[in-house]
Structure 1
């Protein structure tokens, strides 16, 4: 099958030769294969976009100093793979393969496959959000008679958030809760309040990429402590607290993003003691606390061991819906007051309607949260099965909670796979995004927030991308700005 659409732009033979660079790998006997592999690489990593017109075979042969027969043979291989299309009178141009077999190309009559976004680890809304929004309309009417500014947050919502912490074993009053525009704003406020330019902030490696950016935005210095294959390196954390004297720490002790580890009670007790000795405040990211797929009791919050040094952040984004841009900070009342003062330079409070909706959901969402956990656990298992089947040389552990598999690749090709995967209709975040100084090229985060059939299709496309990288030895490519959640 050939595409019916002629090329919209062209590359000349000289430029094509420059793009190919040192394309020969295995000597003259394999020239056609190597040339086809070089063109395949340029197409799949986007340097020859689909629809780019190719120069005539004789011009390519002259520019590369090879026979026209070799070029024709390479073009035949690429046509068979669906990476080159030709039409009499219009010449040849690049294309993207359709489906696993590569038997065909994408053109204007073929709608492009939906891009599967695995960069955002956020599921769809929990059931009941629309009903909650309708239920709070009478209370919204009462709020309309006032000015609408609640800098600390609606009293009703703060009471319910405080009650949740008390139930978990950390007695909390509404005065110890500040409602924010998402948990990330809470962390950004803490960094703004507690650090200055050049101060060190202890973080895990890997960790949430947006937290790294928040530290950098405050002109502070992220100091990573590597996670181990079993979880936290408590010896390393203790040593870093002693030697680096960080002004602040940022940790995710419940279903760590991206590894999925959870710190047990003994580990929390030891970590809390180390933080107290160093007098280091810590922001504990609890955005995934509700996504626990185990039946056993949860360990107490870190605040039960480190006391007033802990600022706990949470949000509705993972548990209820990302569109409810409501989060919170649980901290000593004096710290809440200081955070509030720091916040006035950024905004003056969170949307009232969103707060009313979340308060309504917190009042009656226990069953819905149970259903959400069951759904996500099934998606986790479906993704795990798909990876084992389609990418058998990738390894991972099935996390007890959270939203992602942290997959170890057989080679340091995470950035390469992420770059090429976009051409197969998948957006995925390379491991390097989860470290302040890059690296982690053996790792790839795969969220399981999407429906099961979508996850299976995503892994199929990723396996194609991984095969392409392995065959073409794709060089590192810039991913550009990928929104990560």
Structure 2
């Protein structure tokens, strides 16, 4: 027998004040909360739009918009002519509310993204690249492995960091995410176990789910990695692939020491695991830190594959990343990427090659800016949100904040109403975990961060003791224009 809920009964459960704005969004979020709380079971048919509109005293268009939002988020399943049923989305699904596709001019302060602005060295590097550009005009215009000057610059940088590298061990990609996608396409099959840290970079979780890999999360204490625990997970799950971030971990900002790196590679060798090592933040030390070698320096059999990026040190808009691997694997990846994009853009490759020539200047510039913003953010949080706990990292671009209640997702909803977009902990975990955590980047200017923290405090006050419309009050006009 089919289960259903009537319009008047659902309206009574929703219980929204008539002046709530925007009503359709509040209605959708209230129904979502009822499903998540278990007060509205899954696989229950909801009332037709006109029936619920009549019970609520609103227009049918309003209910249609709310139902559309619930479908996009995965909380309603619908069949043409048959109605709609309550459901639960797939783990990690963000629907069309995914902040990575949100408009950049929507007025919300982008505290969901740890993305520094462009380096001051960029205009000069682009001008030099344009000057070099005609030299490549007689060729085909693309190279699947990347132009020689850039591969030589990347290889030389690895050598300076402690691991000898030849240019033929480098594949230039369209950013680190492109590199991750290529590697998972090659190494991760349907149902294959893949070890990830918890928390971890959220887009690698998206890429793994796209491949159908089975995620094996391994948590670690706040002060660093438990390599024994990671080795145990490799053995118990027969993991042949692991993704790790040893250099200013995103989102925690931790730096793995050389002893831990040696132990991790040794464990991977014992259990036949290939390590995908994300080094996107490796050059972003803010304070003086002990020198560490790339994880590949401890590799003896080609099981460490390094991923790098120009995004954090120089600028995300360049869309240049790279893979360091064996020359044989680079050739395999070049053949694979030919079915995707063939090659990275030439001007950007040449610009990054020039930027490598002044890498120490870029590192010093970033350290100064990130250090000042980190101090401003930490000071404001301690003054206005003293219940939040965090340790200032010595590098990277974000604070990993522990809340005193597991309400990171409701807090993100409330913060949006205050003009701030947040990255709640569950984005960085598997299957809805990490609800007590929040990533706050310090990659924005000091003034922007100082303006954002009072809004976070207001959002926290609403989320910690929510009323029916706590997260849906219209933000003040000032909240719509961040100070950049």
C-alpha offsets along residues 398-443 of structure 1, whole Å, 9 cap, x if unaligned? 0011010000001001000001111110001111111121121110
For 2:445, which of 435, 440, 451 is the aligned residue? 451
Given the superposition, is the C-alpha separation of residues 453 and 253 from structure 1 closer, same or farther in structure 2, using an over 3 Å criterion?
same
Distance in 2, Cα, partners of 1:449 & 1:44: 34
2:251 matches 1:258: yes
Higher Rg? 1
1:333 matched to which residue of 2?
A: 327
Consecutive unaligned residues in structure 2, runs of 5 or more: 1-6, 29-54, 57-104, 472-484
Indicate the residue corresponding to 2:175 in structure 1. Answer: 182
Q: Does 1:282 align with 2:261?
A: no
Change (3 A) 1:41 1:278: farther
**2:434 is matched with which residue?**
440
For residues 63-90 of structure 1, what are the alpha-carbon distances to aligned partners after superposition, in whole Å with 9 as ceiling and x for unaligned? 99xxxxxxxxxxxxxxxxxxxxxxxxxx
* SS of residue paired to 1:126: coil
What is the deviation of 1:14?
Answer: 9.8
> Partners of 1:356 and 1:454 in 2: how far apart?
33
* 1:298 match: 291
Question: Unaligned stretches of 5+ in structure 1?
Answer: 1-11, 22-37, 50-62, 65-111, 478-485
Distance 2:342 2:171 in 1: 12
Residue 120 (str. 1) matches residue 113 (str. 2): yes
Structure 1 residue 366: Cα displacement: 1.8
Report if aligned partners of 1:383, 1:448 keep a CA contact under 8 Å in 2: yes
Corresponding residue for residue 14 of structure 2:
19
- Could you tell me which residue of structure 2 aligns to residue 69 of structure 1? none
SS of corresponding position for 1:222: strand
Matched, 1:371 2:365: yes
Alpha carbons of 1:410 and 1:348: their partners in 2 closer, same or farther (altered >3 Å)? Answer: same
175, 189, 197: which one pairs with 2:190?
197
Do 1:287 and 1:315's aligned partners in 2 also have CA atoms closer than 8 Å?
A: yes
Looking at structure 2, the residues matched to 240 and 474 of structure 1 have their Cα atoms a distance apart, in angstroms, of 43
Measure, in 2, the Cα distance between the counterparts of 1:311 and 1:252. 12
Q: From 383, 394, 399, give the equivalent of 1:405.
A: 399
What is the RMSD of the two structures over their aligned residues, measured on CA atoms? 2.6
For the residue of structure 2 that corresponds to 1:136, the secondary structure is helix
* Equivalent residues, number: 391
Asked if 1:355 corresponds to 2:349, the answer is yes
Q: Output aligned runs, 1:40-119, within 5 Å.
A: 46-47=25-26, 114-119=107-112
* Matched position secondary structure for 1:263: coil
**TM-score of the superposition, structure 2-length normalised?**
0.76
How far, CA to CA, are the matches of 2:195 and 2:243 in structure 1? Answer: 6
| Matched position secondary structure for 1:438 | coil
Aligned residue for 1:75?
none
**2:132 equivalent in structure 1:** 139
Cα–Cα, structure 1 residues 306 and 42, in superposed 2: closer, same or farther, change >3 Å? farther
8 Å contact 2:277–2:307 — kept in the other structure?
Answer: yes
Which of 380-389 and 134-143 deviates more?
Answer: 134-143
> Residue 386 of structure 1 aligns with which residue?
380
Shift, 1:369, TM fit:
2.2
